[in-house]
Amino acid sequence: MKKIAVLASGSGSNFQALAVAAQSGILKAEISLLVCDKPGAFAVDRAEMLGIPALVISPKGYPSKAAYEEEILQKLISLDIDMIVLAGYMRLIGPTLLNSYEGKIINIHPSLLPAFPGKDAIGQALAAGVDTTGVTIHYVDEGMDTGPIIASAAVRVAAGETRESLQKKIQRIEHSLYPEVLEELLNGKEEAVKWEKSVH
């Protein structure tokens, strides 16, 4: 069974969705580790509740990004991690991890990339007045949400939509799409994972 490490910075709702999917057998993989760069983030509490080990590691304690990522890498190697999955991890991945896990780092982003990359994609979509946004799962490269797209799903932006209501719509899709796509990837069915779905 493949072993996955999830990197998160915030509440960890996607991390929990993946962990529950794995523990219930929907995702046939082991979520072996949470890596969190924000001490006190709720993702760490979720990991404890789910019985998943957590590495809480602040970049401020390291002289360089490379040194910080090397610490993470050594932990991943010690656990025989096969794939890195980002779930609200708010840092660009550097060469230390990219080179060691080339083609094996996946991210989920709350927009239809290439639209609205970076932080606050939901706020960006609302400010732009678009009638459709969505969710994108993509491979991670050195850029800001620029890696090759694996799957996406559209989400309609209703009249009078608030940040909170749109976030709930997007998260509902994320929590089902992410485990499904990862399961297909682990089974070598990348060409089959393109989701065609709209949420109103």
List active site positions. 109
Looking at 37-162, list the stretches that DSSP marks H as alpha helix, in order from N- to C-terminal side: 42-50, 65-78, 95-100, 121-128
Cβ 96 vs Cβ 66: under 8 Å:
yes
Cα Rg of the chain, angstroms: 16
For residue 38, what are the CA distances in angstroms to 45, 56, 58, 117, 192?
12, 7, 6, 21, 35
